[in-house]
Amino acid sequence: WKHLKDLMLADDDPTGSSPIDIIIGADTYDHFIQRGIRKGPIGQPIAQRSHFGWILSGPAQAPTNLIHKINAHHCFFGQNLRRSKKMNQVSLRKNLSPAEEFFANHLFSTHLRNPDSRFKSHLPFKGIPLLDVGQSRKLAIQRLIALKRR
């Protein structure tokens, strides 16, 4: 392909049989693509400049070795962290002040963690009776008007 002759490709030997080093998902593709594209005639590969060098995409007329090799890594960080904490837990309970104790109890009683690792919290003032502020509306409107005049 004449339009690809002088390019420094990300893969030193694109026609070789070495395994693929990395597959990058389409959701992160725009993070490493740079300006620069080279197109040849229809039916030939397109070259795009990237942080790794030029990458090729498009049809390949050369026979390819069909080797199916998949390495999938899934990380369940929250589950692993909880499991690790349970295994390595040391009973070193710090003496909490009354305010810290109140906050900790409030936090544990109002927040839950769903199975999908999202936090769920209750509405903060639900169940608390409304505060009787008396006849303060007229005074509040007067203050607002005074602020707007400034």
Domain ranges for the chain = 2-57, 94-125
How does residue 88 score in pLDDT terms, banded at 50, 70 and 90?
A: low
Looking only at the bridges linking them, the beta strands covering 111-113 and 46-50 are: unpaired
What pTM was estimated for this model as a whole?
0.36
pLDDT score for 21: 67
Q: For the chain, what is the largest distance between any 2 Cα atoms, rounded to a whole number of angstroms?
A: 85
Asked if residue 144 has pLDDT above 90, the reply is yes
The mean per-residue pLDDT over the stretch 89-97 comes to 64
